Amino acid sequence: MNIRDLKYMVAVAEYGHFGRAVEACLIGQPTLSAQIRKLEDELGITLFERTKRSVRITPIGEEIVAQARTLLAAADLITETAKASLDPLSGPLRLGMIPTIGPYLTPTLLPSLRHGLPKVELGLSEDTTEILERQLLDGQIDAAITATDVTDRRLSEIALFDEPFWIALPRDHALAAQDEVALRDIASEELLLLEDGHCLSDQVVSFCADAFRTGPKVSTQHTSLMTILALVGAGAGVTLVPALSLRGSWVTDSGIVMRKEKSRKARRAVRIAFRNSYPRRQLLEKLADIVAASVPDTVSPVRR
């Protein structure tokens, strides 16, 4: 058993398909199949159930793969620690972002990163907070920009900025004539949110729970912020959006007007989450400085 074989096994488990695992591992399928079979023989167990159409991991295989991910993360840590001692501000950085931050922060962040961290090889991904935290713990990414407190003691965070929410209304909505809108003035049945599982949805529900006497009757069947904003523009409802998104192209000629939230209590704290064991803390501190310098004046950076 070696690190290479463990990587092959984890790839097959993640893709559920030998062909896609072959592409990810950059080897031939006969080699991959042979190495997996060799590993199964060595362990004396069946890791995968194989048919002509699919590959399904066995229950014991799931346990072994989970342990392999831990070992691979430890091996990566050895490499990262060695690199960090040479130049912590160079090399790969795998950065995840939640979908309600990534599209709006990335356009201004990338040019700043190229200037401020020219030796860093950035890899970006987007997913929900729950999945990003799991990827952090598995060593699949190095850091994640999220908007909720970390939920695992093995993770740490660096505060980035405080972001208020604005209220998006159809242009002809009765509240559109006001400069600021109170949450209690919004009819609960017209509030549109992302589907369950997005932290933005949970946050908005928590804000509105204090404003609506009977609790908000929210709609959560829509899958993206842009879809919800399209519905707002069509007059189908009202939503709350984070301030960073005001830089999106949808703001103009979309049938939507934006108003400040009157109480100023609807806001979220954005941070960088990372493993406690991550050896390049200096790199993340530098990233935090660059993010703070990149955000618009609609948010409040924690650092300058």
Tokens 């990163």 locate to 113
Does the structure show a pLDDT above 70 at 205? no
Q: Which helix (H) or strand (E) covers residue 120, if one does?
A: strand 120-126
CB 97 within 8 A of CB 126: yes
**Mean pLDDT highest for which of 3-7, 190-194, 221-225?**
3-7
pTM equals: 0.71
Specify the pLDDT at position 221.
63
pLDDT digits 0-9 by tens, 114-148: 999 999 999 999 999 999 999 999 889 999 999 99
Sketch out the chain's domains with CATH numbers.
3-81 (1.10.10.10), 89-161+268-301 (3.40.190.10), 164-266 (3.40.190.10)
pLDDT digits 0-9 by tens, 290-303: 999 989 888 999 87
Distance (Å, rounded) from C-alpha 275 to C-alpha 54?
A: 34
Tokens 């899958």 locate to 223
Does the structure show a pLDDT above 70 at 248? no
Does the structure show a pLDDT above 80 at 72? yes
DSSP 238: B
Mean pLDDT of 250-271: 84
Strands 155-170 and 143-146: unpaired
Does the structure show a pLDDT above 60 at 211? no
CB 93 within 8 A of CB 120: yes
pLDDT digits 0-9 by tens, 31-70: 989 999 999 999 999 999 988 777 889 999 999 999 999 8
% of the chain at pLDDT higher than 70: 88
Q: Which helix (H) or strand (E) covers residue 148, if one does?
A: none
Specify the pLDDT at position 218.
57
Specify the pLDDT at position 52.
74
